[in-house]
Amino acid sequence: MHKIVEDYLHHHNQVEKAQLNKKKFIMDIPTKSFQTSENNIVLLKEYFLKNNSIYISKHPRFAPYPEHSHHFLELNYVYSGKSVQYINGNCEVIQQGEILLLDRGSSHSLSEHGENDILINIIFPNDKVDIDWLSSLNEKNSVLFNFLAQTIATRSRKEYLIFRCSENQHVQMILDQIIDKHFSEPVFANEIISLYIPILFTELIGNCQYDFYQEKKDKTNHQVIIDTLKLIESDYAILSLESAAKKLGYNKNYLSNIVKKKTNQTFSELLAKQRMKQAKFLIENSSLSISAIIEIIGLKNRSHFYQQFKTTYGVLPNTFRE
C-alpha cells in the first residue's frame, strides 16, 4: 500500500477531530443518505450505491456509532486494531485482518474505536457481488458455503458471516490493493476494484475459516446443518449417516430428514459430492494412482467410483487426468 494512503487512514479527519473534541458521536453522512424508522437508522442504497460505484470509507473513530441497518450487503474489514460490534443483539469482536459480511436487514452498532482501530467499510452494487453469485462462484467447492449462500440469499434474514482470515496473506494483499486503488484514485479505479471482488471472495470461500450467525428462530435446525456439513467436509473418507448421527448426538432418521429438508439433497448425495470433489483435486494435483485415490476418499468399489466420477464430471478419471 502506498504510504500516502496509509497516512490518510491514520490521519484524523474532520469528523474524528470533532468526536475527539466533543467526546460524542457526530453524524458523518448527509441526511439524504438515511431515514429513521422506530428509533433505528436505515442507510439507503440510493445514496451509497449511486452511479453503480463501489463505496469505500473509513469508519470514524473516537465515539460509539449508533445502531443502524441497511438495504445492501456491507463488508467491514479491520485494517488494524479491532472492532467491537453489537450485531442483531450479539456482541462480536472482529480482530485485525478479519472481515464481517452483513446481510441486508442486519442491525449493528459499534463501540468506540481507538487511535489504532481502523475499520474499512466496503459496499458493493448488486451486480458486483450478490449472495446468489457467491453460491455459483463456489458451485464446485464447499457444500457448506453453498448452503450458507443460498440461505442468505433471501432478503432481510438478519444474518452475518465473520471470516477469520487474518493469517491469509492473499486476502490481506487483495484488500490492501482495493483500499489503495480507492483512496489514491487512479484512472479506472472503480473498474480495477470491481475485478478484485471475485478474486477476494474466491479466496475467502476457498481458503478461510468463517463463522455464520442466524436469527434464533431457526437456530436449532440451522446448527444441525452447519455441524453436519462441517463434518462431511472434514471426515468424508470415514463418514456415514450412522456415524455422523452418533458423533453429533442426533437420531439417524432426524438427521437424515433435516438434511434433506434444508439442503434439498440427501446425506449420501452431499457425502458423494464431497468425495468426488476431493478425488478431482487429487487427480489434478498429485501423481497418485486412481486406486490409491479411491482408497483415500473412503470408497471400496472401483466401478462405483468410476460411475460417480463420470456422472459428476462427464468423463472417466483417467481421461480427466489426461
pLDDT tens track for 263-291: 888 999 999 999 998 999 999 888 899 99
Considering only CA atoms, which of 231, 234, 233 is closest in space to residue 245?
231
Query: What pLDDT, on a 0 to 100 scale, did the predictor assign at position 127?
Result: 46
> Domain tally for the chain?
2
3-class SS at 82? Answer: strand
- DSSP 8-state assignment for residue 184: H
Spell out the alpha helix ranges (H) of 138-266.
143-152, 169-184, 189-207, 219-235, 241-248, 252-263
Residues 203 and 246 in one domain: no
Residues 37, 57, single domain; the answer is: yes
Looking at the fold, whether 106 and 252 belong to one and the same domain comes out as: no
* 8 Å CB contact between 209 and 223: no
CB 115 within 8 A of CB 7: no
67 in the same domain as 50: yes
Same domain, 160 and 243: no
Q: What is the pLDDT of residue 128?
A: 46
Residues 111-163 have pLDDT tens digits of 999 999 999 999 876 544 444 455 455 444 555 555 555 555 444 566 788 99
Per-residue pLDDT of the chain (322 residues; tens, 9 = 90+): 788 999 999 999 999 999 999 999 999 888 888 888 666 788 887 777 776 678 899 999 999 999 988 878 889 999 999 999 999 889 999 999 999 988 777 889 999 999 999 999 998 765 444 444 554 554 445 555 555 555 554 445 667 889 999 999 999 999 999 999 999 887 788 888 888 887 888 788 778 887 777 665 555 566 788 788 888 988 999 999 999 999 988 889 999 998 888 888 899 999 999 999 899 999 988 889 999 999 999 998 899 999 999 998 899 989 988 8
Residues 225 and 118 in one domain: no
Which one of 214, 248, 276 terminates a domain?
A: 214
11 and 48 both lie in a single domain: yes
C-alpha count within 13 angstroms, C-beta hemisphere, residue 82: 8
Q: Which of 191, 214, 237 is the last residue of a domain?
A: 214
Shared-domain flag, residues 173 and 30 = yes
> How far apart are the C-alpha atoms of 276 and 137, rounded to whole Å?
18
* Domain finish residue from 179, 214, 249: 214
Same domain, yes or no: 20 and 152: yes
Q: How high is the pLDDT of residue 59?
A: 96
Domain that holds residue 170: 3-214
Closest to 29 in 3D by CA, of 162, 123, 161, 155: 123
Among candidates 26, 19, 46, 24, which has minimal Cα distance to 34? Answer: 46
Co-location of 55 and 114 in the same domain: yes
What 3-state class would DSSP assign to 12?
coil
Specify the CATH number for the domain of residue 82. Answer: 2.60.120.280
> Are 81 and 117 a contacting pair, CB within 8 Å?
yes
Rg (CA), the chain: 23
Co-location of 175 and 314 in the same domain = no
Other beta carbons within 10 angstroms of residue 58's beta carbon come to: 21
pLDDT at 199: 86
Looking up residue 244, the CATH number of its domain turns out to be 1.10.10.60
Question: How many whole angstroms separate alpha carbon 171 and alpha carbon 135?
Answer: 19
The reply to whether 52 and 130 lie within a common domain is: yes
